[in-house]
Chain A
Amino acid sequence: MNEHVKGPSAPRTLPRESATFDAYTLSEIRRAAATGIYDIRGAGAKRKLPHFDDLLFLGASMSRYPLEGYREKCGTGVVLGDRFAKKPIELKIPITIAGMSFGSLSGPAKEALGRGASAMGTSTTTGDGGMTPEERGHSTKLVYQYLPSRYGMNPDDLRKADAIEVVVGQGAKPGGGGMLLGQKISPRVAKMRTLPEGIDQRSACRHPDWTGPDDLEIKIEELREITDWEKPIYVKVGAARPYYDTALAVKSGADVVVVDGMQGGTAATQEVFIENVGIPTLAAVHQAVKALQDLGMHRKVQLIVSGGIRNGADVAKALALGADAVAIGTAALVALGDNDPRWDAEYEALGTKAGAYDDWHEGRDPAGITTQDPELMKRLDPEIAGRRLANYLSVMTLEAQTIARACGKSHVHNLEPEDLVALTIEAAAMANVPLAGTNWIPGKTGF
């Protein structure tokens, strides 16, 4: 007996790859062993996370009346910064462009962002590296970031800005500073940052002259004094402890709080940092809104949410959970032409493919966006790319309005958590909305 189980034709188990040591993990170990340094890349968390996809709108039914899609108005305007600023920002749509530096992006890419955003009546944001005349010129509303490095920071640009965003952290790396590798430190970038050309530039992770919310309150007072209390002041935090961070930002005197979830992008950060620090955007919104509500400041201090916003449904869901506006970064770059399959051959030559390219720090972007290479930069026509961004923003807005009307809302801000249900228990717990088909909010109500 058992002869048939011997020899080459004998039954065997299939080759089994480890779920723990999967192919990507093995490649990470090999890369680390070969180079001795951690992996640095751009973009945000790529792992599967609970997200807005795990929420659904209920729409109108017997007890709620929808609005007519092509007849009845659904407002989208947002006022940001009317708590203390003499000149609040008025946006026509609740979608803004997040901070991305000149340096990490090319000049024409920054111009395209300004053109697209301005066409739609919304704002762009500078980044770690100062304000360029091109960006100021092409953005009708420009938010000037106040970062730990203070690269290029000066009072003239501060006064030219329409708002000031004090950056405490960002979703891709709460607690981390920045870096811009030498390939992208062109003479112009180096000059703006007062650094030698071609060095690997580090940005500090802590502000040099304040620590904690009590200091921040004084820092904000100084910025208001310098700008004669005209400009809205935002405080941006990476989503980590959004309840307390939002409360402390309000206490510090912020007009607007920006909460950036871990799907939010970066120009260059350690992979291990991007994937393992911070919490998903979905988990951050309710906590931030709760902090504002507990302080009686919801809608008085505005909340901007960012990190993985892709379409009008994401916008509508963030607003329904209580945000006043959203910000997009990665999605805006894709709208400009980043990771476009038309450059697939060149992405492959770089050892990657369209859709996966994230070595933004290397400055060799085939799409000519995350680069300072003069030849690659020419590939992006700022007028055409700006138009593409405006189209995309327009579609997102129409989509958000479509959902809001279906829920019977005459303004996207009238969307509310009661319009939402969750597909998973995790999303229900994080967003504080019931699991679909039940009235169960985990940790809150009975089943």
Chain B
Amino acid sequence: MNASTQSHSFDLSTAKVRDLNAALHALKEGSNASLWRVSNPRGLHALAAGLDAPVTVEIDGPVGYYCAGMNKQATVIVRGNAGVGIGENMMSGRIEVEGDASQAAGATAHGGLLFIRGQAGARCGISMKGVDIVVGGSVGHMSAFMAQAGTLTVLGDAGEALGDSIYEARLYVRGSVKSLGADCVEKEMRDEHKAQVFEKLKAAGLEGQVDPSEFKRYGSARTLYHFHVDNASAY
């Protein structure tokens, strides 16, 4: 934070979600670097959703569904657990969850970084379209289902059917994978991939803590890209 940083406090035990989001939406491109501290989030939904300014929002406690949904530019830090769809469809910026995240974290997200320090539930990175997701713990079943683009880096394990019907997204998992979904295969971990894992770990602030060569890479076998009768059992 520099000297020009303005700090604002928002207590959700007295103020409404609408008031918080309206105030954050009113920020324009120039009103950068302001810091917003939000207390008593109590699992409320759609907190800091739809931001489009380079601000930092620190939420002190657990958030409900769709926190920081469709985020652009902003940094949103959740000091607690996150409900369903944290950072869904985010375009850019940074979202950090200090606890665990529920289902569909980073669903359909196009860009930016979503970093979950704890565990992530089922369908993490479902239909992701370019976002980088880093999970400190494990991810649940059907993660990266129909993932189109971007990276999912998992320091722990992955549940059943990882990367089912995946397109061009890259999945890096350090621990075990319970099973791979249709058309998802393990791929060679070359130097360029280790460099990519390092870059993502660095973005999350984890560089030096984990060795990129411990990860395995998974991606699309590209056998389901065209409908074919001989693939019928996979559909």
Determine the distance from Cα of A314 to Cα of B108 in the docked complex, in whole angstroms. 39
Using Cβ atoms and an 8 Å threshold, which residues of chain A touch B108?
A: 150, 153, 208-209
Using Cβ atoms and an 8 Å threshold, which residues of chain B touch A222?
A: 45-46, 49, 65-66, 69
CB distance from A126 to the nearest CB of B (A): 16
- A-B residue pair count with CB separations less than 8 angstroms: 103
Determine the distance from Cα of A279 to Cα of B110 in the docked complex, in whole angstroms. 37
B184 contacts chain A at the CB level, 8 A cutoff: no
The answer to whether B70 and A194 touch across the interface, beta carbons within 8 angstroms, is no
Chain B, range 94-112, C-beta contacts under 8 Å to A: 103-104, 107-108, 110
B165 contacts chain A at the CB level, 8 A cutoff: yes
A199 contacts chain B at the CB level, 8 A cutoff: yes
The answer to whether B130 and A225 touch across the interface, beta carbons within 8 angstroms, is no
A227 contacts chain B at the CB level, 8 A cutoff: yes
CB distance from B49 to the nearest CB of A (A): 5
Determine the distance from Cα of A426 to Cα of B66 in the docked complex, in whole angstroms. 46
- Of A149, A200, A225, which one neighbours B226 at CB under 8 angstroms? A200
Chain A, range 193-224, C-beta contacts under 8 Å to B: 193-196, 199-200, 202, 204, 208-210, 215, 218-219, 221-222
The answer to whether B127 and A195 touch across the interface, beta carbons within 8 angstroms, is no
Using Cβ atoms and an 8 Å threshold, which residues of chain B touch A204?
A: 127, 146
A226 contacts chain B at the CB level, 8 A cutoff: yes
Using Cβ atoms and an 8 Å threshold, which residues of chain A touch B50?
A: 155, 225-227
Q: Residue-by-residue, is B200-235 near A (CB-CB < 8 Å gives 1, otherwise 0)? A: 000000000000000000000000011111001000
B139 contacts chain A at the CB level, 8 A cutoff: no
Using Cβ atoms and an 8 Å threshold, which residues of chain A touch B151?
A: none
Q: Interface of chain B, helix or strand or loop or mixed?
A: loop
B89 contacts chain A at the CB level, 8 A cutoff: yes
CB distance from B165 to the nearest CB of A (A): 7
The answer to whether B84 and A210 touch across the interface, beta carbons within 8 angstroms, is yes
The answer to whether A154 and B70 touch across the interface, beta carbons within 8 angstroms, is yes
The answer to whether B65 and A149 touch across the interface, beta carbons within 8 angstroms, is no
- Of A37, A154, A219, which one neighbours B91 at CB under 8 angstroms? A154
The answer to whether B25 and A218 touch across the interface, beta carbons within 8 angstroms, is no
The answer to whether A218 and B64 touch across the interface, beta carbons within 8 angstroms, is yes
Q: Interface of chain A, helix or strand or loop or mixed?
A: loop
- The contact size tier of chain A is 20 to 34
- Nearest CB to that of B67 among chain A residues? A222
- Nearest CB to that of B71 among chain A residues? A155
Q: A150-B108, A209-B107, A219-B66 are in contact. Are A225 and B126 (CB under 8 A)?
A: no
CB distance from B88 to the nearest CB of A (A): 5
The answer to whether B227 and A200 touch across the interface, beta carbons within 8 angstroms, is yes
The answer to whether B91 and A155 touch across the interface, beta carbons within 8 angstroms, is yes
- Nearest CB to that of A155 among chain B residues? B70
B115 contacts chain A at the CB level, 8 A cutoff: no
CB distance from B96 to the nearest CB of A (A): 19
Q: 4 additional contacts, CB 8 Å, given A195-B148, A204-B127, A208-B108?
A: A200-B226, A218-B66, A226-B69, A226-B70
On B, residues with C-beta under 8 Å from A are 17-18, 21-22, 25, 45-46, 49-50, 52, 64-66, 69-70, 72, 84-85, 88-89, 91, 103-104, 107-108, 110, 123, 126-127, 129-130, 145-146, 148-149, 165, 167-168, 225-229, 232
Q: Can you list 28 A-B pairs, Cβ within 8 angstroms, ordered by A?
A: A36-B229, A36-B232, A37-B228, A150-B127, A150-B129, A153-B108, A155-B70, A181-B227, A182-B226, A194-B110, A194-B130, A194-B148, A194-B149, A196-B225, A204-B146, A208-B127, A208-B145, A209-B66, A209-B103, A209-B104, A209-B123, A210-B84, A218-B65, A219-B65, A221-B45, A222-B65, A226-B69, A228-B22
